[in-house]
Amino acid sequence: MHTLRSVAAVLGLALLLTVATTSFALTPDEEAALREEARQLTEQARNQEAQADAGRELALQIFIAEFKKADGLDDQADTKKIAALQKWLQVGDFKLAKAVRLRESARALLLAAYRFGVLAALIDEEAINERFRAQVHRAAADALLANNPDADAVAVAGQLDGRARAHDSDAKGYESEADDLRDQADRANLRADKLLDRAVVLETAP
């Protein structure tokens, strides 16, 4: 979907620049028609942005609601694990009591890894968006120079290329941040696995 959006936007912008740089004289009717088309496109774009904002808000509300449900289940599980721990201690089975505590620590690490993964996925989307914006600006600069390489066009193309480099730089920052989060998730998962292995040893010991 993102690739299709990128292709459509780049082609559309290139076509727009081609028309703008090759149409040197317009009749009043032609100018009025172009103004009306521009007005309609602007209105459509604003409506789509509003729909996108509403969609993100709905997605956030759904995520938070489901996350709270999951947290509620974790709370119930914690209550049962504490009760089990108390009973193991009452009967003097300290190995199994320790295994419970190890599993609890592992669980906390796994949940932390999950949060790191969620954040990384969100930041990945930001990086993709910045790469897309860079591509559009760079294509616009290339199309402008291809159709009207005068001094004004060169200046505007330079500005567009500067914006493309800025978006690429932002994307690189997002990509680095997402990689760091994934590294933290991997380390947390590895520590959790080690704790679970220790718990299993205690649980299966004679």
Position 171 in a domain: yes
For residues 109 and 75, membership in a common domain is answered with no
- Last-in-domain residue among 36, 70, 91: 91
Position 113 in a domain: yes
For residues 103 and 201, membership in a common domain is answered with yes
For residues 103 and 117, membership in a common domain is answered with yes
For residues 84 and 160, membership in a common domain is answered with no
Position 17 in a domain: no
Name every residue whose Cβ is closer than 8 Å to that of residue 26 and which is 6 or more positions away in sequence.
34
Q: Could you read off the pLDDT of 164-199 as tens digits, one per residue?
A: 999 999 999 999 999 999 999 999 999 999 999 999
CB 192 within 8 A of CB 86: no
Q: What is the pTM of this model?
A: 0.74
Per-residue model confidence (pLDDT) at position 26: 78
Position 104 in a domain: yes
Q: Could you read off the pLDDT of 129-146 as tens digits, one per residue?
A: 999 999 999 999 998 888
Position 41 in a domain: yes
State the residue range of the domain holding 153: 93-206
- Last-in-domain residue among 40, 67, 91: 91
The token pair that represents 176 in the structure block:
């680095």
Q: How far, CA to CA in Å, does 5 sit from each of 49, 163, 189? A: 14, 19, 35
For residues 45 and 111, membership in a common domain is answered with no
CA–CA distance, 92 with 198 (Å, rounded to integer): 19
